[in-house]
Structure 1
Amino acid sequence: MTSAAGAALALAGCAAPQAARRAEAGSSHWSGRLSLSVDSNPPQSFAAVFELDGNPEQGELLLTTPLGNTLGALQWSPGTAVLRDGAQQRRFASIAALTEAVTGAALPIDALFEWLQGRPAQVPGWRAELSQVAQGRLQATRDAPLPTAQLRVVFERPSP
């Protein structure tokens, strides 16, 4: 991590992971690795191991280092999103606002759930390459608004 996003999440090196809530109808679980590159000045990049639970309306995204240290837990529900990083907690109006504050680019979490299942989802400014989803690879590019951003996800969906 070589950016403000990495610095913000690195504060959480010792945070304890939250329990996943998967019992709800329509929720899912995904895990793997993700990276985000933002072509800002200076350029920002971020990489983490992730676990994504829930659905677009309510869920949790847990980000850890490859060694298992928790970088942060992003939780959202209608009208609110919370970043827990260590003993600190920050609230945001939406998951898009939270991901923009943390990574430098508002990530389309709603669409991410669709993309991980290989289903197209229209998001203004984003285009997803879904041809390798069956092999556990997803790539999405944000062309607008500037700066451009590149999201890469390598994932697996565990058995229920």
Structure 2
Amino acid sequence: MKSAVKAAAGPALSMVNARRQTLQALTLGSVVLLSGCATARKEPAAVDKERSSWTGRLGLTIASDPPQSFSAGFSLSGNAETGQLSLSSPLGSTLAAMHWQPGSAVLNQGGKEQRFNSLDELVTQTSGTPIPIRALFAWLRGEPETVEGWQADLSSLPDGRLHAQRLQPLPTAELRLVFD
């Protein structure tokens, strides 16, 4: 009787084993295919200390009364001594263009040209707050530079982000850059 049951169950057990093996093969195949499609985590790019041009988006917030906030696309080239900066709207139209060299800084905005004695003066007048330009260029190259009252977070620079805050003097200010 046992052999009759075994003989009758044999094809059924074979069928279950065949299904199990097929399911295991399909599962293994799916895992292999999915792992082939998976995207490896992109390693952060190294910071280029020789770099002299950047593009992306910037945001500046000043905790004044009333608070001021500004954001734009930007294209920056040069250094703290000589360079140019173009600011653009989300639609790509030029909001302002600045260029500077020792002893002179020029702002072109809305068909009007304004001249300043320095880039620091131009930035303070146009943004409403002083921004440490020399330190900003160092931060962009990944070089930590201390500026009294400011804190720069360079940890996300390899991922294309720079965040700097002025805590003193009041009002506080926050500068965020995201690079293309």
Is TM (by shorter chain) over 0.5? yes
Larger displacement relative to structure 2 (62-71 or 103-112): 103-112
Which amino acid is the alignment partner of residue 69 of structure 2? S
Whether the 8 Å contact between 2:51 and 2:141 is mirrored in structure 1 is no
> 1:109 aligned to 119, 124, 133, which one?
133
Distance 2:118 2:158 in 1: 30
Match of 2:56 in 1: 32
Partner of 2:178: 154
Question: Letter of the aligned partner of 2:134 in structure 1?
Answer: D
Q: What is the deviation of 1:127?
A: 1.1
Matches within 5 A, 1:1-150: 28-150=52-174
Q: Comparing both structures, which one devotes a greater share of its residues to strand?
A: 1
Cα displacement (A) at 1:147: 1.0
- The 2-side partners of 1:54 and 1:27 are apart by 9
Structure 2 gap ranges (5+):
1-49
Query: What is the RMSD computed on CA atoms of the aligned residues?
Result: 1.4
Distance 1:140 1:35 in 2: 11
- Structure with the higher fraction of residues in helix conformation: 2
Structure 1 unaligned runs (5+)?
A: 1-25
Tell me the secondary structure at the aligned position of residue 47 of structure 1: strand
Structure whose CA Rg is larger: 2
The sequence identity of aligned pairs, in percent, is 52
Amino acid in structure 2 at the alignment position of 1:119: E
- Distance in 2 between residues matched to 1:63 and 1:119, nearest whole Å: 24
Alpha carbons 2:151, 2:164 under 8 Å: kept: yes
Cα distance in 1 between the residues matched to 2:123 and 2:71: 14
Runs of 4+ in 1 over 4 A off after TM superposition: none
Task: Spell out, residue by residue over 1:92-133, the C-alpha distance to the aligned partner (whole angstroms, 9 max, x if none).
Answer: 121111111111112222222211121111222211001100
User: So what's the TM-score if we normalise by structure 2?
Assistant: 0.69
Deviation at 1:91, TM superposition (A): 1.1
The alpha carbon displacement at 1:27 in A equals 7.1
Give the letter aligned to residue 137 of structure 1.
R
Tell me which amino acid in the other structure corresponds to 2:165: T
